[in-house]
Amino acid sequence: MDVTISQSRVAGRVRAPPSKSYTHRAILAAGYGAEAVVADPLVSADTRATMRAVEAFGGSVDRDADGDARLSISGFDGRPEVPDDVVDCANSGTTTRLVTACGALADGLCVFTGDDSLRSRPQGPLLDAIRQLGGRAESTRRNGQAPLVVGESIDGGAVSIPGDVSSQYITALLMAGAVTDEGIDVELETELKSAPYVDITLEVLDDFGVDATKTDDGFSVPGGQSYAPKGGEYAVPGDFSSMSYLLSAGAVAAAEGDRVLVEGARPSAQGDSAIVEILESMGAAVGWDRDAGEIAVPRASLSGTTVDVGDTPDLLPTIAALGAVADGDTVIENCEHVRYKETDRVSAMAEELGKMGASVTEERDRLTVHGGDTDLVGARVDGRADHRIVMSLAVAGLAADGDTVIEGAEHVDVSFPDFFDAMESLGAAVDRHE
């Protein structure tokens, strides 16, 4: 599906979707336990992949008959069954990594694969960690990428793993380690990138009654634990990654004297809440009522800034779009790991914003958007089958002169299925066409 975004003014109240990161972890945490309800989940293409994996391991996931407000999950109680078939993780890298460690607990062998994009993403360090724990872990093509074969019932132990490729490896090991006999101690060989995502994991584990801690050189989770949220229910908070597009829409395109107000913004461990400080550093007057969970953003004359995205890789596309509207240079540093997502998001934003008239300098670990040399104009751009690229280009399209046609816009279903409905509700001119 293609979507055309025309230069628009926006205003009004909109609700952020539930957090994809928390939903993934909560679904699998419930799967590790006996039974639990996950309230207010994000039901999207990615999280449905995690639901399918829980069912493949012998659990069940029942969705609320009146909608997606609650998931009733019967788990596999710490010991996943060997799936009857290959588990298709579709486009979800989070699903793949989290369930790969889970599959290593199985008595037999589990096979995980996904679409073309997923089969290009690095999994080697996680496979090596499973082998260190005595499990079997192989890439069928011997390139460290899916399809993956894992199993042979790991008991726990100590592993050494790099921290600068994906924090999801650590999340996967901590979640699986809690139900092993010995627990798992994770030693980081390099600095941890995307550290707030491990903080999210620790928060979810704690909410499910599982103890895991940071150590001097990594993380540790004792074995023999059980997953059970207090009262049998866990509620998913709003998603700051998705919120970043709505807040940015307000900053670049809010109607004169009005603002965009985003609901569902209660504080949590999400690193991407940094979007609030980033917008403020660029000159936006952001009002965050933390008790009410509401953030209001009026349009602002934005100025360039410098942002290190080592801990917030998912914000790079949003920041790049903001930089194309701002005056001066916006420098995005420490971003090499952002090249290993659904697509190479560094190159993708450089190239697609370039089609819209942006002046951009791309380096291996840095992206500079020269807003002062940019006059954004509508163009036909490629969403790269990546939800975050699509939504960021839509934000740029609000401020561009003319019409911006985004190819592959249906991929917002990965994390924010109602994104274009939300934009229309704020007054954006949106035209969907096949």
Which residues are documented as binding site? Answer: 20-21, 25, 93, 121, 166-168, 194, 314, 341, 345, 388
Looking at residue 104, the DSSP 8-state letter turns out to be T
Say how far apart CA 207 and CA 210 lie, in whole Å. 7
**Beta pairing partners, 138:** 149
Q: How many CB atoms lie within 10 A of CB 365?
A: 14
Looking at residue 123, the DSSP 8-state letter turns out to be -
Using DSSP's 3-state secondary structure scheme, residue 169 falls into helix
Looking at residue 152, the DSSP 8-state letter turns out to be S
Q: Which of 314, 329, 382, 386 is catalytic?
A: 314
Task: Report which of 17, 72, 32, 401 is spatially closest to residue 238, judged by C-alpha positions.
Answer: 17
Task: Report which of 369, 365, 244, 248 is spatially closest to residue 308, judged by C-alpha positions.
Answer: 365
What's the sign of the alpha-carbon dihedral 49, 54, 56, 61? negative
Which residues are documented as binding site for phosphoenolpyruvate? Answer: 20, 93, 121, 168, 345, 388
Task: Report which of 171, 233, 177 is spatially closest to residue 207, judged by C-alpha positions.
Answer: 233
Which residue is it, tokens 């839509």? 394
Helix (H) or strand (E) holding 36: strand 35-39
Respond yes or no: is residue 314 known to be catalytic. yes
Which residues are documented as binding site for 3-phosphoshikimate? Answer: 20-21, 25, 166-168, 194, 314, 341
Catalytic residues: 314
